[in-house]
Amino acid sequence: MKKLPIFLIGATGVIALTVYLINPFGTATLDPRARIWGIMYYHIPSASMMPTLNPGDYILVKTFAYANTMPEIGDIVVYKPPQLNVPFIGRVMARPGDNISVQDSIAIVNGQRQEENYILKPEGVCYIRDFPETTVPDEALFIVGDNRCNSRDSRMFGTVSQNNLIGKVSYIWDSSDKD
């Protein structure tokens, strides 16, 4: 069996390291899968995105999705909240320049009540049902969970810089909800 020349192995390592350091997809994570390959997977740890994503689900995230574009309203994204170094998952509800408020857990964007058939209807104690109107600044997004009563999101920590986006959720490959 023919062995690979040592310089070929070294060159491959140098190329991978260079791509990692350049971070061509502009992702906000240090994970080499995201920086080199442009995709990664996550395990859903909480109920913040129920019923869309359930605790225990595995999702595929495209870290290259927003390399040259801005997320659309309704996109489900993985991001790092301000002041935290832990990835969160949420739905983009407003983009730069949009006015957003939340009344009784329903988002109102630019004066229009949003049809959100995907949210988990509030039951029992809901710590944040309302959020006063705010204008999303340039280069930022307002991101919330589908389970409004059980989600830490922009209603708590404010808007999220586009630089803190890790990627777009593109596929649920293993769900704890087998329906």
Is 154 among the catalytic positions? no
Torsion of CA 26, 31, 36, 37, to 10 degrees: -100
Paired tokens of 169 = 């959720």
The active-site residue out of 46, 48, 105, 161 is 48
Count CB-CB contacts under 10 A for residue 13.
10
Q: Which residues are catalytically annotated? A: 48
